[in-house]
A and B are shown apart, each in its own frame.
Chain A
Amino acid sequence: MTGTSDTVLKVEGLQVSYGSIPAISSLDFEIKRGEFVAILGPSGCGKSSMLNVISGLLPPTRGVVEVDSRPLYDAGRHAPKLGYVFQAHRLLPWRTVKQNLELVLAASDVPRDQWEDNIDRLLDILHIGQFKNSWPMQLSGGQRQRVSIARALLVEPSYILMDEPLSTLDEVTARSLRQELSGIWARTGATIVFVTHSIREAVYLADRIIILTRGPSTVFENYHVPIARPRAYDDPRIAEVEADIIRRVEHAWGLDPIKQSEVA
């Protein structure tokens, strides 16, 4: 999509264990600048752990993770600009929505005179404009998650890590946000790693889907989505690809495929 093809994120022989219990057995993959990569894998296979390693929060037990050709864990102030939508929203409950967003903006390079506009625009896109001055406690789970998405996008990151960001939303809102996210990605050229349990969502959004095995995980397949953009969520080709992926993982994940597909 973006045309450039240089590798910006390299994961090599990544192993993650908690104590003596392995969560990720060995992962190898590369991600190119501006690529939209979705990660699919059964629950508990180590997807969140992988994002924590990529973000530099968790040191790998073995192996290397390089971002911009630097080992990430000790990148220090060279660490790349990152937006991370955690699986839990992680807002500060004693700050209003706006204050939560301003906190990260203050630590970013975004000029102060743009904050207000950027916040308003994003909250509108995410359909939560009226909650700007609310406490997180006053929001529903899905609304909080959207504030967390706004926070990740506001800092104008070159990498965006998203851990099931739309899983708490109703399907109508989720569809609208998928479309917005697709647009934001195309406009900003950010590199996105997107963990999801919805195969259709992955097919709709991603250039490539990295399918993991059951935990402790390895890469089961690098699946390039063969559908040109712009894509429509109801395009029958998306359903076809979804069915194809379900056929492939059915055996590897060893579960009833209907449960995994989360058919929208």
Chain B
Amino acid sequence: MRPFAYERAADPGAAATAVVDGTDAMFLAGGTNLVDLMKLGVARPATLVDVTRLPYDRIEHRADGSVLIGATVRNSDLAGDRGIRERFPMLARAVLSGASGQLRSMATTGGNLLQRTRCPYFQDVTKPCNKRDPGAGCSAIGGGHRDLGVIGTSDSCVATHPSDMAVAMAALDAVVHLRLAGGGERAMPLHDLYLLPGDTPDRETVLEPGDLITGVELPPPPDGAVMLYRKVRDRWSYAFAVVSVAALVTTEGGGSLREIRLALGGVAPKPWRAHQAERMLAGHRPNRELLLAAAEAEFASARPLPGNEFKIGLAADLIAASVRDLTGDLVGEERR
């Protein structure tokens, strides 16, 4: 572990300056991901700028039904917030399905969005990894990749973004608020925060050094929306998603879907909003056949590897099961 300096930022401007001016400086929030990576030698900052005292620790429910979640709100506080539980239950579910109680009490909104992949080679500095060391090669493609991505990946990297919270936020059309290093502010859909790996898997987001996430805004959910978050994993607690799905639907007379939003975790380098599937399903009364066709269309551009091909079928089954459970309309049409 490289010796490092620790600073506690007094205000957002000072935080940004410290990171922009410092050599190898990084923001530190809960530290649950960054400090692990420092111990492993994956991250080697010379300075940590602690952002947890900045004034972004509130959850603000607004009159129009939207909510602004501060960047330093702890994951456990987010999951326990009454308004979140009542009006955005899939988000509370998603957060609670991640990590452990101790970790969630430390982890923050901003840190959760920017946590790094769990690809085992990324975390092992003795093995090649393009994300850690551009141009070194990807060990996962020809090696252990069962838990990695099937869509949105590239020949240089197949890592997944591991967050559960971000998947639910993607389905909720979240908007990320930034304070730019230079001092300005910017808001962008969560979807646009993340970059696909392409030839530069080391570039994971559009953020520049010193850009600070200040909060995440969720617009009010559509009237009559029902939603769920379902996480499939290799044990019943304390494991990252093999595949997860965040689903939101509104229905109209006759049981057809007025609106449907689907986001998938565990399959892609970012929370994967299944726009293609959504388009095929909206306006229709869903049945298993149509749902599977929609999933198939969504994954038409998938590039699975031998060890993780099963994720496509699993994701399709989860999409179908989620709509079944949200509409209560497909009982008896489960997978045989």
Task: State yes or no: do A and B come from one complex.
Answer: no
